[in-house]
Every structure is written in structure tokens, then in C-alpha cells.
């Protein structure tokens, strides 16, 4: 059966594609001194003034300890700062420093260039379908993850 390609399972292909996208973006972000994940956090902070760490975790769809670690690293690079939140809200808020603000456009360009490269050769219709399918997969997996995290009932 020489010449016949073995079909890759969808999840395996999705994993390889995700890894390739992350690697491509990572090489672009390295020029800014950033690691994958930090870019998205910076952009969310840039787009939403006065976010608490919990709000940021929700917007990034990660757990609060993950955000705490990311913000600590960004603060060590002088890209963000934490401030005491207003009395009516619990927790501190996170803000971009001048240095962090100066990176925002470079991060947006790096993400756009990576996306352009990834989607090269796909029509607008194919891109729309791909986004729709990926959102569906995300919802499917999110529903499973939510069910796994829910406490078991004592029935």
C-alpha cells in the first residue's frame, strides 16, 4: 500500500496545527520579549481598563492562578502593574505600564501576520467556515470540561 497516506485523526491534526501556530507566533513575539499567552493578556488589558485579575482570567478563559503567574511575569518585565482596586470591588486591578502600551501595536501586528500566514490560500468562505467549526469544537470541549469540573451529586 505504498503511496497511500494514512489519515490523521482530527484531534491529532488539531493539536499539530495548534502547535505550529503557537511556534510561528512565538518566534514573532520573541522579538518583543514576550512568550505565547502574554500577548493575549496584554491585548485584553489594553482593551479593558481597570480589570481585576478575576475578570482577566474570565476573559482569557483560564483559571485565576494562571493569570496571577502571567501578571507576575509581565510585572517583572515592567509591562503591567497591579493597583489596589476600588473599595466596592474585591482584589487588585491590572494596568499596562508605558512600556506595556508601547508593545501593543507590535503584538497586534505579530498576531495578524501569523494569522495571515496560517490562512493563506483559504477563501473568505473557507475562513468563515473554519472559524465556525473551531468555535463548535471549543464549545463541545468546554461543555465536557465544565461537566468534569462540576461536583458529583450524591444521588
Contact indicator for 97, 80 with CB cutoff of 8 Å: yes
Domain contains 50? yes
Q: What is the pLDDT of residues 55-68, one digit of tens each?
A: 999 999 889 899 99
Contact indicator for 107, 43 with CB cutoff of 8 Å: yes
What CATH number did the domain enclosing 76 receive?
1.10.10.10
Domain contains 16? no
What's the pLDDT band for 50 if we cut at 50, 70, 90?
confident
Beta pairing class for 80-84 and 51-52? unpaired
Domain contains 121? yes
Give CA–CA dist 81/96, Å, rounded. Answer: 6
Please state the domain count of the chain: 1
Domain range for 109 is 27-141
Nearest 5°: phi and psi at 52?
-80, 165
Domain contains 35? yes
Q: What is the pLDDT of residues 94-123, one digit of tens each?
A: 999 999 999 999 999 999 999 999 999 999
Domain contains 13? no
Domain contains 136? yes
Amino acid at each position: 500500500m505504498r503511496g497511500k497516506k494514512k489519515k490523521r485523526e482530527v484531534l491529532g491534526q488539531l493539536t499539530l496545527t495548534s502547535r505550529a501556530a503557537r511556534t510561528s507566533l512565538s518566534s514573532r513575539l520573541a522579538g518583543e520579549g514576550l512568550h505565547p499567552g502574554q500577548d493575549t493578556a496584554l491585548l485584553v488589558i489594553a482593551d479593558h481598563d481597570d480589570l481585576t485579575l478575576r475578570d482577566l482570567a474570565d476573559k482569557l478563559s483560564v483559571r485565576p492562578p494562571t493569570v496571577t503567574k502571567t501578571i507576575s511575569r509581565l510585572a517583572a518585565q515592567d509591562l503591567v502593574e497591579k493597583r489596589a482596586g476600588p473599595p466596592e470591588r474585591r482584589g487588585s486591578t491590572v494596568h499596562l505600564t508605558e512600556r506595556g502600551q508601547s508593545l501593543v501595536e507590535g503584538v497586534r501586528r505579530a498576531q495578524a501576520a501569523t494569522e495571515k500566514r496560517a490562512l493563506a490560500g483559504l477563501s473568505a468562505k473557507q475562513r468563515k467556515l473554519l472559524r465556525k467549526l473551531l468555535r463548535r469544537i471549543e464549545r463541545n470541549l468546554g461543555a465536557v470540561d465544565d461537566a468534569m469540573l462540576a461536583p458529583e451529586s450524591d444521588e
